Amino acid sequence: MSGTMNLLIGLAMGFSLLALASSRLPSVIRAAAFQGMILGTLPLLLEEKFHWLVVAVAIGTITVKGFIIPNLLRRALRAANIDREVEPLIGFVPSLLLGAAAIIGAAALGSELPLRPEHAKTLLVPGSFATVVCGFILLMARTKAISQVCGYLILENGIYLFGLLLINTTPLLVEAGILLDLTVAVFVIGIIVDRIQREFDTLDTRKLTSLRE
Amino acid sequence: MKEILLIALPLIFAAAAFAWPSERTRPWLLPVAGVLHSVLALWLLIDPPLLAANAWFGFDPLARAVLPMVSLLFLVCSIYGVAYLQIRAERKNRIFVTALLVMLGLLSLALQAQNLGLLWVAAEATTLVTVPLLHFNGTARAFEASWKYLLVGGTGIALSLLGSFCLGYASLHGGSSGDLTFTALVAQGAALTRPWLVTAWVLLLAGYGTKMGLAPMHTWKPDAYGEAPGMVGALLAGGTTTMAFVAILRVKQVVDAAGGGAMTERTLLAFGLFSMLVAALFLLTTPDFKRMLAYSSVEHMGILAVGAALGGAGIAAALFHVWTNGLTKGALFLSAGNIRRAAGAQTEDKVAGMAWRSPASARIFVVGILAVTACPPFGVFFSELKIILAGFQTNNFFAATAFLGCLLFAFFGMSRLVFAIVDGRPRAAARATGKQLRETPGVIVPPLLFLALSLWLGLATPPLLREAWNAAANILLPTP
pLDDT per residue as tens digits for the range B337-391: 999 988 888 888 888 888 888 889 999 999 999 999 998 889 999 999 999 999 9
Cβ atoms B178, B168 nearer than 8 A: yes
At A64 the pLDDT is: 83
Examine residue A80 and state whether it is found in any structural domain, yes or no: yes
At B428 the pLDDT is: 65
At A213 the pLDDT is: 65
Nearest to B110 by CA among B124, B99, B95: B124
How far apart CA B388 and CA B369 sit, in angstroms, is 20
Coil/strand/helix, residue B364: helix
- What confidence tens digit (pLDDT) does each residue in B301-313 have? 999 999 999 989 9
User: Is the predicted pLDDT of residue B318 greater than 80, yes or no?
Assistant: yes
Examine residue A213 and state whether it is found in any structural domain, yes or no: no
Closest CB to B121 among A162, A181, A185: A181
User: What are the residue ranges spanned by the domains of chain B?
Assistant: 2-476
Examine residue A47 and state whether it is found in any structural domain, yes or no: yes
Q: Is residue A91 less than 8 Å (CB to CB) from chain B?
A: no
Q: Is residue A117 less than 8 Å (CB to CB) from chain B?
A: no
Residues A36-51, buried b or exposed e (16+ Cβ, 10 A)?
bbbbbbbbeebbeeee
Nearest chain B alpha carbon to A163:
B165
B102 backbone φψ class: left, alpha, beta (φ>0; ψ -120 to 50): alpha
- Which band of pLDDT confidence, cut at 50, 70 and 90, is reported for residue B454? very high
Distance (Å) from the alpha carbon of B287 to chain A's nearest alpha carbon: 8
Closest CB to A162 among B124, B162, B286: B162
At B260 the pLDDT is: 87
User: Helix, strand, coil: what percent of chain B each, to 5?
Assistant: 80, 0, 20
Q: Is residue A183 less than 8 Å (CB to CB) from chain B?
A: no
CA of B433: how far to CAs of B157, B340, B351, in Å? 40, 11, 12
CA of A29: how far to CAs of A16, A87, A151, A174, B329, in Å? 11, 18, 10, 26, 43
Distance (Å) from the alpha carbon of B418 to chain A's nearest alpha carbon: 17
Neighboring chain A residues of B178 at a CB cutoff of 8 Å: 166, 168-170
By residue range, what is the domain housing residue A139? 2-114+123-206
The stretch B224-242 carries a mean pLDDT of 94
Examine residue A93 and state whether it is found in any structural domain, yes or no: yes
Give, in degrees to the nearest 5, the angle at Cα A130 between A124 and A131: 85
User: Is the predicted pLDDT of residue A66 greater than 90, yes or no?
Assistant: no
Q: What is the DSSP letter of B331?
A: H
- Which band of pLDDT confidence, cut at 50, 70 and 90, is reported for residue A201? low
Cβ atoms B271, B307 nearer than 8 A: no
Examine residue A18 and state whether it is found in any structural domain, yes or no: yes
Could you tell me the sign of the dihedral formed by the alpha carbons of B161, B162, B165, B166, in that order? negative
Examine residue A211 and state whether it is found in any structural domain, yes or no: no
- What confidence tens digit (pLDDT) does each residue in B110-157 have? 999 998 888 998 998 898 899 889 988 888 888 888 888 888 888 898
Q: What is the pTM of this model?
A: 0.93
Examine residue A153 and state whether it is found in any structural domain, yes or no: yes
A145 with B147: Cβ contact below 8 A: yes
Give, in degrees to the nearest 5, the angle at Cα B41 between B457 and B118: 115
How far apart CA A56 and CA B468 sit, in angstroms, is 44
Closest CB to B144 among A113, A158, A208: A208
| φ and ψ at residue B24, rounded to 5 degrees | -75, -40
Give, in degrees to the nearest 5, the angle at Cα B327 between B326 and B333: 85
Q: Which is more confident, A121 or B166?
A: B166
User: Is the predicted pLDDT of residue B430 greater than 60, yes or no?
Assistant: no
B396 backbone φψ class: left, alpha, beta (φ>0; ψ -120 to 50): beta
How far apart CA B392 and CA B410 sit, in angstroms, is 22
At A200 the pLDDT is: 65
Q: Is residue A160 less than 8 Å (CB to CB) from chain B?
A: no
The percentage of residues in chain A with a pLDDT greater than 70, rounded to a whole number, is 77
Q: Is residue B216 less than 8 Å (CB to CB) from chain A?
A: no
* Number of Cβ atoms within 10 Å of the Cβ of B329: 29
How far apart CA B339 and CA B420 sit, in angstroms, is 13
At A176 the pLDDT is: 60
The stretch B170-188 carries a mean pLDDT of 87
Nearest to B265 by CA among B300, B302, B308, B301: B308
User: Is the predicted pLDDT of residue B282 greater than 80, yes or no?
Assistant: yes
A168 with B178: Cβ contact below 8 A: yes
Contacts of A10 (CB under 8 A, 6+ apart): A123, A127
At B263 the pLDDT is: 93
Cβ atoms A123, B139 nearer than 8 A: no
Cβ atoms B308, B386 nearer than 8 A: no
Cβ atoms B99, B107 nearer than 8 A: no
CA of B197: how far to CAs of A39, B202, B329, in Å? 26, 9, 35
Examine residue A212 and state whether it is found in any structural domain, yes or no: no
Nearest chain A alpha carbon to B283:
A213
